[in-house]
Structure 1
């Protein structure tokens, strides 16, 4: 169909597409419509329009034959830009090098590839605007779809545009990519008549009506149906031509093409079948790509009958439409398809993945050589981040294995990859398939453990299973390869970390000591950081830094694990670039995100919380929760909720924090997931502190670790240092607060982490028994280089020291500190602490004008509660006398203390003594 007639009735679409090219705000657009509706013609129209306005145009097209090849679509799209790759920084060059098979780097995540592609596109478009056009996007491989979605969401206000054509009515990866869409509807009756008349002006009237009725506005049908219907015997209609039963239009068009294919000579049909199975383009106008394709020869007969066209770039035959390609494959016999795959396997013998794919398709009986080729293809795909393809190829390799042991091993490996990636249903199925005839392989056991951990938070049974497997490997073969043992050890450490149970960690340490010489040093780093950083954290900074020297060769899981270690020692911000700079990106919506991607989002969330970037942290947390929920990764979903609960508490959103806290605790506590129950208690502590309920805060904090101690194997034991001391001071437990501060100093917390050093100096200042020590310790906290990296903690220390100065009549110095703390809290959005700092400032102003404090500064209820507290009653006892809840009592006292210019219950009696008697008021 010529371009002029093809665009009949498409004025609205042309206008929208012209606006897309001209708009600086729109970066990506999905063109969606049914088969044959004219999407490809519109894509070509936009390409011509962009070329005319100075754009460089790059084209790619999806193909069924390549739907399982990782990054096959991205190869097409980026191949013309490879000369610009050498201009990228080392990290992004290594990522794309792994994708294109140029180097043996680690398997990149979608986010890593997406960021590298964004930089590559920015370089390529620095001189000339760039338009990328992808046709048949429904057949783009999963990894390429994910990257294109990631990139497309970030092209606004850039010189790069992405236009994707996809078929409606079928689920595609772009459905959830969050890109703008333009629907291409069928033509109107009037436009359909114009198209039909332009091609068949002499068509018989009854055939014309029949074609218009059957085509239903689909241009391809308007062009292809008339010859078939015209050749039907007089008086016969569509039922005779296609068969009765309401056959869908694409099937009818396949019937049209099928009749033409059947009329070809056997040799030409063979050429077409080989081309179809090798993903030869179904579109003219595609730019040349690197990948080798079967070259159809001597096929003029197929071109003459409208099945093939000639690519103007290469001069080679290409399919006229994707339906032609699928019809050719559908009409071939199984033996014909296997013979074609055999030829194609030989053609691609230098491409490990394509070679193995065609070999497997040609195989019928078990064949160890083909199974080994598929295993190699799976390893290649996994290195490039194609876990789904690796699982599929290993599964097929198991089917072609010649013995039970090889079959079980390959199914176990496939299950392990699926489990680690969070493909839980697939992992469960593979584990079941691999254990039907015997004992499961170690990989299958690990896969089952992943499923149980991710899906239901099972830590106890999975811990026992892995201990047994590791001990069996140790006892059976002293020299067991690392690639078998290391993943089991790392998973055991992950499970032990989530459990945070002393007895489980002791068993983990014992078994790891017996295999220490068989596992890499990184696993020992994880062991020390995740178990008890206070007692095993010496030198972790240097060990992490040393491990990151080999960053380009690190497995992506190891990158996430090492960043987790960096977080434990307060140095995560230093390695932000190794999390692929995802903190700078908004609304992460990568398609098919894996478990490792969610772990990285959790780390970004923690780093954003520490740095005071709370709005970004909220977005990251919501995104991680969404991804975990969609993928059925229940453990990660509750972990996301736990982090969001702590964040909400810090921001003063107390009800939200407590709701999330209750959800996490009710799920994690029965399962013994100590890491999450500790986070829930931390959220409760911070929420109570935020609203001034110090008694509740103390109960939560002391539930994590007792004052004066730091319980072993509890990560939050040290993390809650400031919370526990602050709550203890405000509830009159000065002895406990001082004991805990000194315990932090004795335990060497300042040597473990910059954050812990800041907190230790802060609590020593808050609990100091004389002003000299308080000033010295506060100065050390204020001058610590980590202060700028932890603004929330530093502001809390300033607030506490300002209150102390005010209480000791250092109003001028106190004002500066309190004003600084208030400003920081307001900038962070910590409403509870900001109000407290403002109240302290108001107290200074009031006290400078009048003294003693007038009775009217306290309400009747506040004065009554203050008197009862001064007499030594607890909040619970006061509540029983006043018919109030202990929490309400605590809230009243929170407002009383700054009004009286005190910071603890111990000072209540003296402060109240300066007020008029309640009875005479």
Structure 2
């Protein structure tokens, strides 16, 4: 088709396509305005320039299927990607000067195992780990960069972006925002301006596509319909308003009948939006087709027929329309060049086909498509759900299985809809109630608490005390208001009713044969009981008092074999790790082996146990991979708890800047969602962080806010943290009496208060505060109590602080030296740098007093460097004062021995001088991508996160290795 006008748009697209730098562009305009024609022009220009053009089209029927659009867009690239060499390291950690044996240029990126696993998970293969937007976006960038590095630039062309599924659109937006500086990759998207689109908030550059100018509209009309009468010609120009599709279609409509009647029909639609008027024209043509042809068109429309050209090993088969030449003849279909498949002339044709069909016709089409997609459970489930009217257990079971798959891949919100539909199609009342209860539970985890309650009431109409209703109401009361007392009583009653019910088979059919509890899925018969027990344990943990936990353990004991190993694991590790935590670490590690096969809330609970046992770090990479996914489309509450766990591990490992960023993100989410409990829990963790950093005013302000909210509600979990914050902040400020008073508010010296989880965590605080206030006997008693309670065997952190406490309170130098040695040589000591530095500081002080200044310099220097690196100025000042007392003259911080390579050092120096990555690359003959990789490796070595900190950091480091 000859393009008329659009000189400005053509010039911009030509510059976009032929520019060497990567970039993205969104074309926005009403239906029929010519966006697809402009995309065709861009694709042709790119092909003539030797670029690889990959095209895709958003399909309305697939807009609820996660990653369907992304799969369509990437499938031509994925088959070749499977054959490339594997490099398991993150892309930016790979060397840029390696030599490869294939035809890639030196320095070309590879698609590593992590990227392939991301694609596997996103596109439904069961062996891949779940992937958040960022991880999948990085994998897409790696794939595109690798493809472009072979010397052939890539142009991604996406039409009808308004129908792209949300998950795919988020990844496309992530990729589009990061194409700058990546030569050879471009993304071009077209969306309707009159339809809400997931690209509306993508923050990508846009080009509005408006109507044709009057002269161009007249030329286009005369070019395609040269024999129109003057009156009809004027009417068409007036009604089309410069819309190219209307200029092409309206004359044919007028020619179908007597001029006067057609003109009156057209004028009768004058108040209707133009796209709707064009749909009416297509509907008139469809009405003249035979039933067989219309059935073919309907199947193609509902399955996105010819949404992309061609086929390939990575593609999912779509319905191929056959014997539809009649539809081609009347201008509804076209034949794709090359592939030879039939495709709809315009998306409005597809919409018209669906709208014109009767419900029975649509259901018949969905049945055919369900059979076509029998190898793809989620697609099959969508079509089966649409095809079925009356209850049918097989279809309901398929929908339930699809919901389970979606939940484990981050689609918990979508799973709620499928479970609700599965309940509607259930053949028995028991199955209907069970599936509605499952939908209510998942809705509660996705933070749709109101919907969760309505689904729960539907599961058991006429009662507010059904298990599903208790779950929904209890989550609402706990998350929003921190209500632990009444919620605990209500859950206990629900568990006991379920346990003692004579017809409990309605709730828990087939209670026998529960040996393999670890691998049970959401359809396991005692799922409701497990969930009630898990929530009971969570409420007990937040209550944090002895009476509540004793009642909870009594309930667990009465369940007998119905209480799972997981329930006892949580009940032991969440309640009182000193008395009940022994022996659980290895079981937690075993249970962590198959995280990908577990629901997000089960992973979160397991990670909480790992935190209490100080073995959280191995689980953190998984949590970081899935947290974005859960916050986007999955279990929101689990996502926020995952952020808390990541924060706690960052805090323990001394990654305090990262912990602060994680904490503020969690606080913003919890506040936005109205979760009072999670918001104040986040404030408590931020208060702990402020306390160890010596920001006492900030710590006390947050502590006061947490106490004022938690204490009246009886949320002991948070009031204990508040007391711990008070102790640590006072220690940082040197106010040891106040620190001691806060510490004994958690537990008395010489004992560990039952069910006070902070009792063991504040061991070092209480001992130090007692020693500095002349309470040496109480300090010694507390250290011995830790030893006698077996704390060194419970967790690596408790081993470190117990030996540190025993060393600080030792009665003779030999004993002290032995415990200091055991603490500092512990295999996990470096994983807890703040506690280790405090122990080294105490060691240095003791050695200086007993053995002189020279012997004290090593532990004092180690402590001072650690506090400097952590960013704990009060502790650092104390360590440097002790160093001066040991005869070390005050001086500027010594250069840190950080192994920057010559190239890393040079890139960092140029960046510190204000040069951009592109300018640095030109000066050093490197690509901007390679420059970015060098900075990515240099920043953590320098202990910084921004370019602004480069200059100061470089003055502290040693000279780099010589240039090659």
**TM-score, reference length from structure 2:** 0.76
Contact 1:497 1:530 in 2 (8 A): yes
Question: Offset of 1:696 from its aligned partner?
Answer: 3.6
Counterpart position of 2:327: 302
Structure 2 distance, partners of 1:115, 1:494, is 35
Contact 1:66 1:72 in 2 (8 A): yes
Structure 1 distance, partners of 2:438, 2:35, is 42
Structure 1 residues 106 and 582: alpha-carbon distance in aligned structure 2, compared to 1, 3 A threshold: closer
Question: Offset of 1:474 from its aligned partner?
Answer: 3.1
Question: Offset of 1:760 from its aligned partner?
Answer: 1.9
2:434 maps to which of 409, 419, 437: 409
**Structure 1 residue 290 and structure 2 residue 315: aligned?**
yes
**Structure 1 residue 724 and structure 2 residue 766: aligned?**
yes
Structure 2 distance, partners of 1:170, 1:656, is 47
1:740-777 CA-partner distances (Å, limit 9, x unpaired) = 23322222222111112222222333334444444333
Counterpart position of 1:420: 445
Counterpart position of 2:740: 698
1:282-306 CA-partner distances (Å, limit 9, x unpaired) = 5668989633333222323333343
Question: Offset of 1:222 from its aligned partner?
Answer: 5.3
Counterpart position of 2:896: none
Contact 2:35 2:209 in 1 (8 A): no
Structure 1 residues 221 and 508: alpha-carbon distance in aligned structure 2, compared to 1, 3 A threshold: farther
**Structure 1 residue 66 and structure 2 residue 108: aligned?**
no
Structure 2 distance, partners of 1:285, 1:829, is 58
Structure 1 distance, partners of 2:481, 2:431, is 30
Counterpart position of 1:334: 359
Structure 2 distance, partners of 1:694, 1:322, is 73
Question: Offset of 1:7 from its aligned partner?
Answer: 5.4
Counterpart position of 2:471: 446
Q: How does 1:634-673 map to 2 (within 5 A)?
A: 634-673=676-715
Q: How does 1:357-756 map to 2 (within 5 A)?
A: 357-437=382-462, 441-475=466-500, 476=504, 478-479=511-512, 481-579=525-623, 590=632, 594-756=636-798
Contact 1:39 1:184 in 2 (8 A): no
**Structure 1 residue 824 and structure 2 residue 866: aligned?**
yes
Structure 1 residues 97 and 818: alpha-carbon distance in aligned structure 2, compared to 1, 3 A threshold: same
Structure 2 distance, partners of 1:216, 1:647, is 62
Counterpart position of 2:163: 139
Secondary structure at the aligned position of 2:343 is classed as strand
Which stretch of structure 1 is more off in the superposition, 672-681 or 37-46? 37-46
Contact 1:273 1:340 in 2 (8 A): yes
Structure 2 distance, partners of 1:91, 1:70, is 20
Secondary structure at the aligned position of 1:649 is classed as helix
Structure 1 residues 107 and 468: alpha-carbon distance in aligned structure 2, compared to 1, 3 A threshold: farther
Question: Offset of 1:173 from its aligned partner?
Answer: 4.2
Structure 1 residues 767 and 96: alpha-carbon distance in aligned structure 2, compared to 1, 3 A threshold: same
**Structure 1: runs of 5 or more not aligned:** 849-921
Structure 1 distance, partners of 2:141, 2:412, is 23
1:694-719 CA-partner distances (Å, limit 9, x unpaired) = 44433333322233222222222211
Structure 1 residues 355 and 743: alpha-carbon distance in aligned structure 2, compared to 1, 3 A threshold: same
Structure 1 distance, partners of 2:762, 2:590, is 29
Structure 1 residues 807 and 245: alpha-carbon distance in aligned structure 2, compared to 1, 3 A threshold: farther
1:61-106 CA-partner distances (Å, limit 9, x unpaired) = 3322122334433443454415645877788767755554544788
Structure 1 residues 199 and 662: alpha-carbon distance in aligned structure 2, compared to 1, 3 A threshold: farther
**Structure 1 residue 274 and structure 2 residue 316: aligned?**
no
Question: Offset of 1:219 from its aligned partner?
Answer: 4.8
Which stretch of structure 1 is more off in the superposition, 120-129 or 136-145? 120-129
Structure 1 distance, partners of 2:290, 2:49, is 46
**Structure 1 residue 762 and structure 2 residue 810: aligned?**
no
Counterpart position of 1:780: 822
2:840 maps to which of 798, 808, 816: 798
Structure 2 distance, partners of 1:492, 1:509, is 10
Question: Offset of 1:415 from its aligned partner?
Answer: 0.7
Question: Offset of 1:614 from its aligned partner?
Answer: 1.8
Structure 1 distance, partners of 2:237, 2:734, is 75
Secondary structure at the aligned position of 1:785 is classed as coil
Which stretch of structure 1 is more off in the superposition, 807-816 or 699-708? 807-816
Structure 1 residues 807 and 490: alpha-carbon distance in aligned structure 2, compared to 1, 3 A threshold: same
Structure 1 residues 847 and 633: alpha-carbon distance in aligned structure 2, compared to 1, 3 A threshold: closer
Question: Offset of 1:329 from its aligned partner?
Answer: 1.8
1:719-749 CA-partner distances (Å, limit 9, x unpaired) = 1222233333444444433332332222222
1:219-259 CA-partner distances (Å, limit 9, x unpaired) = 54555456558999989999962547853343333334334
Structure 1 distance, partners of 2:234, 2:723, is 74
Contact 1:288 1:314 in 2 (8 A): no
Counterpart position of 1:789: 831
Structure 2 distance, partners of 1:656, 1:235, is 79
Contact 1:71 1:99 in 2 (8 A): yes
Contact 2:334 2:345 in 1 (8 A): yes
Contact 1:284 1:309 in 2 (8 A): no
Structure 2 distance, partners of 1:398, 1:56, is 47
Q: How does 1:869-884 map to 2 (within 5 A)?
A: none
Which stretch of structure 1 is more off in the superposition, 131-140 or 828-837? 131-140
Secondary structure at the aligned position of 1:180 is classed as coil
Structure 1 distance, partners of 2:10, 2:630, is 35
Structure 2 distance, partners of 1:629, 1:383, is 26
Aligned pairs, number: 842
Contact 1:9 1:188 in 2 (8 A): no
Counterpart position of 1:9: 8
Counterpart position of 1:895: none
Structure 1 residues 355 and 618: alpha-carbon distance in aligned structure 2, compared to 1, 3 A threshold: same
**Structure 2: runs of 5 or more not aligned:** 89-112, 506-510, 515-524, 891-964
Contact 2:692 2:732 in 1 (8 A): yes
Structure 1 distance, partners of 2:700, 2:123, is 48
Contact 1:422 1:454 in 2 (8 A): no
Counterpart position of 1:810: 852
Contact 1:288 1:313 in 2 (8 A): no
**Structure 1 residue 180 and structure 2 residue 204: aligned?**
yes
Counterpart position of 1:918: none
Counterpart position of 2:100: none
Structure 2 distance, partners of 1:274, 1:514, is 56
Which stretch of structure 1 is more off in the superposition, 322-331 or 160-169? 160-169
Over the aligned positions, Cα root-mean-square deviation in angstroms equals 4.2
Secondary structure at the aligned position of 2:64 is classed as coil
